[in-house]
Structures are given as C-alpha cells and as structure tokens.
Amino acid sequence: MTFKIEMTGFKNGDMLSQKFSCDGNDVSPEIKWDDAPQSAKSFILIVEDPDAPHGTFVHWIIYNIKPDVKSLPENVPKTETTPEGWSQGVNDFGKIGYNGPCPPRKQVHRYFFTIYGVLEPPELKPGLSRKDLDRILDVKTVKKTSIMVKYGRAYEHA
C-alpha cells in the first residue's frame, strides 16, 4: 500500500482548470487520498508554488483533518474553521483558505498539493502560517504524498 493523493479530474502534471485559479471562480478542487499511514493522528494539506518570482508561495493550508477523513470537497469555505471542524491557515496572499494559482502573465507554474500524515492530534488553532507548521511537519510527519498540476495565464484581461 502506497499513500497517494488525487485531484478529481486531474492527473499528475496536468494543466489545472481556470475554475480553480484567480482567473476563474478561485475555488479549491476536490482532493482525495488513500492508503494513509495507520499511525497518523491527523492530516495537513499544503498547496505551494515553487516557481513564484520571490521563492515558494503558499496558496492553501488546511489542517486538523481527522485520521478517518479521506477527501476534501470542492470549494472548501474560506473560513478559519470549516463546518467539518478543519482549521485553515494564512496563505501567502495574507488570507485564510484557498487562493488558487495566479502566476505572472504568460508563465506556467507548478503547484504541489501535498498531504502530510502527522503524529499531531487535530487540536491546532486556526490561522497558522506555513512557518508555524514547519516544526510539526519536520518532526511529526509519518508520511507525505503530493500531486503536481500546472497553470498558466496566457491571455490578458480587458
């Protein structure tokens, strides 16, 4: 069994639909994972763009996902705490929740959706940053898995 992550409608390396970007509805895609480590006490999902002009850019942090959860629905509300009890952190736009790809015009960037199975109970406070979670990710990650999609803005808005 291999811990794996999937995005509904996309394979690793595919171009992401405009719907999930700043050019579209800017909603989070549906994400599923399978064969998670039994020892994980919770999950943390982080979406990052390593091709951003000033270094890796964080688009979404969602955590306190209980170990029996195996998916996130499309369009997770942009609130500190979701109706399911998951917590969301502050992304590099300075906002809570998902903000999709928005690369500079005529560039294609890669976006990594990484799920971490961690030995941390789902009790972290909402509004954490990637930096706040680094110690947990470094010390308490049992296993992680990623899917990479691409997005480019090849046109100009009027």
95-137 pLDDT per residue, tens: 999 999 999 988 999 999 999 999 999 999 999 999 999 999 9
C-beta of residue 151 within 8 angstroms of C-beta of residue 7 = no
Q: How much is the pTM?
A: 0.95
Please identify which residue in the block is written with the tokens 């992680």.
Answer: 144
* Cα 112 from Cα 114, distance rounded (Å): 6
- Which range has the worst mean pLDDT, 12-16, 18-22, 145-149, 151-155? 151-155
Report helix, strand or coil for 139: helix
21-60 pLDDT per residue, tens: 999 999 999 999 999 999 999 999 999 999 999 999 999 9
> Residue ranges of the domains in the chain?
4-152
Q: Is the pLDDT of residue 1 over 90?
A: no
Regarding the domain delimited by 4-152, which CATH topology (the fold level of the hierarchy) does it fall under?
A: Phosphatidylethanolamine-binding Protein (3.90.280)
HSE, CB side, 13 Å, CA atoms: give it for residue 96: 15
